[in-house]
Amino acid sequence: MSEQSYRLTISCPDRVGIASAVSGFIAAEGGLITEANQYRDPVSNWFFMRQVIAADSLRYDADELQNRFATIADRFDMTFRVTDSSKLKKVVLMASKQAHCMSDLLYRWRSNEMRFEIPCVISNHDDLRSYVEWHNIDYVHLPVDADKEAHFAAVEAQLEAACPDVIVLARYMQIMPPHLCEKYAGKMLNIHHSFLPAFVGARPYHQAAERGVKLIGATCHFVTTDLDAGPIIEQDVVRISHHDSIEDLVRKGKDVEKMVLAKGLRNHLEDRVLIHGNKTIVFE
């Protein structure tokens, strides 16, 4: 069999028979399940599932699987989606002046460690142009001046032209306007250089140094209209001490930021992340 697969993700109110109905449907269609995850949230009584099906085991494509599964979905009031692993998602990267998160993702992309398409990189500064264009990727410089409304209108136009499946704010140091947050809800990821909900907003490393914390971290989360408060996808920390200067915190933090963002994006690209209110279920 080829490595191509169809990923079926489901969320719905929990009740008896869901797992049996889904697996029974796949078996009846001749589908081979290569990976299976499920979870029931005990507070909301909500059920989540991710099934990976070998594409070669079915007689039809992902669109037909979506159509045929609709009968099961209607019976259980499911929200569901079928994606084809062979169709790479389009990822627009957005960055300002700092390159560490963006360059890490570009390396993973170039080395095929992570498989996705990059229509363009959007930046409010021109500092990263030569590095991005070395990768033969379009670099779109949209400077921010006093008229931020015009800037974000240009950003929106560029995003519409690129038709991204995912937007990654890889240290893009601008607050996205509410209408863009809502337009791309569930599709826009941010890396925040703090272990949220601690030290929200600007200069979190300085805030951490003033507070004398012993751990600093980074958080990959979905962007919402509430600043740095969207559903969290991935987090990690690194230990620090009173010996560390703010420059040390920044240096150590950058390593965590890169790792957390890459892992969060990978899970999202592989349809492992399901949003439930302001939380996520991540099937690793």
Residues serving a catalytic function are 228
Tokens for 237? 């920390």
Helix 204-211 vs helix 246-269: crossing angle, to nearest 10: 130
In sequence order, which ranges of 163-202 are alpha helices (DSSP H)?
A: 178-183
3-state secondary structure of 260: helix
3-state secondary structure of 33: strand
CA 121/CA 144 separation, integer angstroms: 16
**In the block, which residue shows the tokens 């751990």?**
215
Which residues have a Cβ under 8 Å from the Cβ of 198 and sit 6 or more positions away? 204, 208, 213
Beta-strand runs (E) in the chain: 5-13, 33-41, 46-54, 79-84, 91-95, 121-123, 139-141, 166-169, 188-192, 215-222, 232-239, 273-276, 279-282
Identity (one letter) of the amino acid at 88? L
C-beta of residue 37 within 8 angstroms of C-beta of residue 259: no
What length does the chain have? 284
C-beta of residue 259 within 8 angstroms of C-beta of residue 236: yes
